[in-house]
């Protein structure tokens, strides 16, 4: 399966490299677009000083963690965006169901956007800035928490992409919904979770657990206390939240597939 | 210019009507815009926890600004709203459009205006209403609304001319998604969509004032919210008109250049 995944993804990457100028422009574009996300935060904090008691370097840590995870999910999961939408509109999803491979696997391999490394690079730069400004004592548990958090965040964002795409089974075409989930989650998580009202904090921890992509981990790394009493050790619950959420997304997807009614002729 | 006014009006009317038929699409659009408007407001509420004014703007100013720009997304206020021109270039359909007995530019302009008129009157207005009801976004004064009308028409002209040029790069690059992405970056950030330009550092403000993007979003938004004095409104409208004329001329020149080297794909 992994062999097959790599073969299919390799073909995607090679075909994208045919439009070489466009590829590099887009990679640069993603670096810039996402760079402007952080520039926006920097401009706001330059004017206001801090948000919810968090300064620029600390918000950079939040932003870098969530943006890094999001970039990986976008690179891997974009098959669920326009390629899947095209399948739905053209009725080509019929063909997917007829092949001896899972629908999830086939849609997943319908695209792989290497150019999203532009965002990965930008997130890494923001993280480097954050770590250079904040004196974090790098104990083994803190070092371990970094990849654990990023991988959990990646799974959570991938699950969001899948959930957004699943709505296509009923609406045929709604890529904008994916944006609400993914970009909305990412934008929400770019600021400390503590600034939101209680019900929103609950939603982003326990319903759509994007909050786990960075906030508890940042508390843990910075040795900060949450004003609403969220314990820092909850950072270690991120993989659990991610696994449960991804499992739920998969089930929702399977339910969507089972209700599929073709548009094709 | 053409004298086939009736024809272009019919194209615009059809485009308006077509936009009305995608009900679930524009409902989803309104929900999306309102969701992001709300998120921005929560952040502003936290930033303004100390009260007062920052860069001359109060919390209510910032919130009203955010809802206005969210409402302008569907008329091209944040990024290029696809008009289908570059797809028609990639598919080769463009040759049919070019051989029709009318102006290629005005045809697409009419299509875009029809759709955007609908987007402004329905999508934009409903999005703003959410801001008014739930976040206390300010209702514009009648005089400001009156000044907003020419401002938004000019904004749509500038926005269309810019996206026309970006789309036309497909004649040379075949795939214009990279250029589109970079253009969107500039549009989102330098138009005053993402933040009020007043929040920018001085050097960035000077850059924004020297570029056309503010004419698309920042200026009409400020007029809508009554943030400009009458003399400033006049200057803003003149700036918009100048950019509309300049970018339209550039777009037409680009079209002429494209015609000299047209290679049609597909068959």
> Chain B: residue nearest A41 by CA?
B195
Q: Please give the tally of structural domains in chain B.
A: 1
Residue B234 is assigned to a structural domain of this protein: yes
User: What is the residue range of B84's domain?
Assistant: 5-260
pLDDT score recorded for residue B43: 96
What does the alpha-carbon distance between residue A58 and residue A60 come to, in Å, rounded to a whole number?
A: 5
Average pLDDT over residues A249-262: 89
Query: pLDDT tens, A43-95?
Result: 999 999 999 999 999 999 999 999 999 999 999 988 888 788 888 877 788 88
Average pLDDT over residues A103-107: 85
Chain B positions in Cβ-Cβ contact with residue A23 (cut-off 8 Å): 178
pTM for the model:
0.89
Q: What is the pLDDT confidence band of residue A237, given thresholds at 50, 70 and 90?
A: very high
- Beta carbons of A38 and B193 less than 8 angstroms apart: no
Q: Is B56 exposed, middle or buried (0-12, 13-18, 19+ CB in 10 A)?
A: exposed
Contact A184/B39, CB-based, under 8 Å? yes
Q: Using alpha carbons, select from B72, B173, B90, B71 the residue that is nearest to residue B131.
A: B71
pLDDT score recorded for residue A90: 79
Is A196 part of the contact surface with chain B (CB cutoff 8 Å)?
yes
Is A21 part of the contact surface with chain B (CB cutoff 8 Å)?
yes
Q: What is the mean pLDDT of chain B?
A: 89
For residue B66, is pLDDT > 90? yes
For residue B84, is pLDDT > 80? no
Burial code of B2-18, b = ≥16 C-beta within 10 A, e = fewer? eeeeebbeebbeebbee
For residue B223, is pLDDT > 50? yes
A118 vs A29, residue with greater confidence = A118
What does the alpha-carbon distance between residue A213 and residue A238 come to, in Å, rounded to a whole number?
A: 7
For residue A41, is pLDDT > 60? yes
What does the alpha-carbon distance between residue A92 and residue A94 come to, in Å, rounded to a whole number?
A: 5
Contact B195/A40, CB-based, under 8 Å? yes
Residue B73 is assigned to a structural domain of this protein: yes
> Chain A: residue nearest B194 by CA?
A40
What does the alpha-carbon distance between residue B249 and residue B130 come to, in Å, rounded to a whole number?
A: 38
Q: Which of B46, B54, B57, B62 to mutate to test the interface with A (most CBs of A within 10 A)?
A: B46
Residue found under tokens 């970079």? B182
What does the alpha-carbon distance between residue B7 and residue B3 come to, in Å, rounded to a whole number?
A: 9
Average pLDDT over residues A212-236: 95
Chain B positions in Cβ-Cβ contact with residue A200 (cut-off 8 Å): 42
Q: Using alpha carbons, select from A181, A129, A135, A124 the residue that is nearest to residue A158.
A: A181
Contact B188/A52, CB-based, under 8 Å? no
Is A177 part of the contact surface with chain B (CB cutoff 8 Å)?
yes
What does the alpha-carbon distance between residue B199 and residue B58 come to, in Å, rounded to a whole number?
A: 12
Q: What is the pLDDT confidence band of residue B60, given thresholds at 50, 70 and 90?
A: very high
Residue found under tokens 């790599």? A6
Q: What is the pLDDT confidence band of residue B3, given thresholds at 50, 70 and 90?
A: low
Radius of gyration (C-alpha) of chain B in whole angstroms: 19
Q: Which of A25, A43, A188 sits opposite B178 (nearest CB)?
A: A25
Contact B199/A196, CB-based, under 8 Å? no
pLDDT score recorded for residue B196: 96
Is A42 part of the contact surface with chain B (CB cutoff 8 Å)?
no
Is A102 part of the contact surface with chain B (CB cutoff 8 Å)?
no
């Amino acid at each position: 399966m992994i062999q097959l995944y790599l073969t299919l993804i390799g073909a995607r990457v090679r075909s994208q490299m045919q439009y070489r100028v466009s590829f590099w422009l887009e990679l640069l574009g993603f670096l810039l677009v996402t760079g402007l996300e952080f520039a926006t935060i920097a401009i706001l904090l330059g004017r206001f000083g801090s948000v919810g008691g968090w300064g620029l370097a600390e918000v950079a840590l939040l932003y870098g963690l969530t943006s890094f995870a999001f970039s990986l999910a976008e690179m891997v999961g974009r098959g669920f965006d326009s390629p899947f939408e095209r399948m739905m509109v053209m009725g080509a999803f019929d063909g997917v169901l007829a092949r001896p491979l899972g629908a999830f696997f086939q849609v997943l391999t319908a695209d792989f956007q290497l150019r999203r490394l532009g965002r990965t690079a930008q997130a890494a730069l923001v993280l480097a800035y954050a770590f250079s400004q904040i004196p974090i004592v790098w104990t083994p548990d803190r070092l371990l928490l970094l990849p654990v958090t990023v991988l959990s965040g990646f799974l959570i964002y991938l699950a969001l992409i899948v959930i957004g795409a699943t709505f296509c089974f009923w609406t045929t075409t709604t890529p904008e919904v994916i944006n609400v989930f993914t970009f909305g989650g990412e934008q929400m998580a770019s600021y400390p979770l503590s600034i939101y009202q209680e019900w929103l904090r609950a939603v982003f921890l326990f319903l759509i657990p994007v909050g786990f992509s960075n906030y508890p981990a940042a508390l843990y790394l910075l040795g900060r206390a949450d004003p609403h009493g969220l314990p820092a050790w909850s950072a270690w619950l991120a993989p659990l939240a991610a696994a449960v959420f991804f499992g739920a997304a998969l089930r929702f997807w399977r339910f969507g597939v089972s209700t599929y009614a073709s548009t094709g002729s | 210019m053409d004298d086939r006014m009736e024809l272009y009006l019919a194209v615009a009317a059809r485009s308006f009507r077509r936009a009305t038929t995608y009900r679930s699409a524009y409902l989803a659009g309104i929900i999306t815009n309102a969701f992001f408007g709300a998120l921005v407001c929560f952040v502003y509420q936290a930033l303004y926890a100390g009260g007062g004014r920052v860069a001359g703007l109060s919390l209510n100013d910032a919130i009203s600004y955010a809802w206005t720009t969210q409402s302008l997304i569907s008329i091209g206020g944040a990024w290029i709203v696809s008009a289908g021109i570059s797809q028609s270039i990639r598919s080769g359909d463009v040759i049919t459009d070019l051989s029709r007995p009318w102006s290629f530019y005005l045809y697409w302009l009419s299509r875009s205006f029809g759709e955007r008129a609908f987007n402004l009157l329905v999508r934009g207005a409903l999005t703003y209403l959410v801001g008014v009801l739930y976040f206390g976004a300010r209702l514009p004064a009648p005089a400001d609304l009156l000044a907003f009308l020419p401002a938004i028409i000019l904004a749509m002209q500038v926005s269309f001319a810019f996206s026309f040029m970006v789309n036309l790069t497909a004649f040379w690059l075949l795939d214009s998604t990279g250029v589109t992405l970079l253009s969107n970056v500039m549009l989102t950030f330098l138009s005053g969509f993402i933040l009020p330009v007043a929040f920018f550092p001085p050097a960035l403000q000077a850059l924004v004032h020297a570029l056309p993007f503010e004419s698309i979003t920042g200026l009409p938004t400020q007029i809508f919210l009554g943030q400009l004095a009458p003399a400033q409104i006049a200057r803003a409208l003149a700036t918009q008109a100048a950019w509309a004329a300049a970018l339209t001329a550039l777009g037409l020149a680009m079209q002429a250049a494209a015609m000299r080297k047209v290679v049609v794909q597909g068959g």
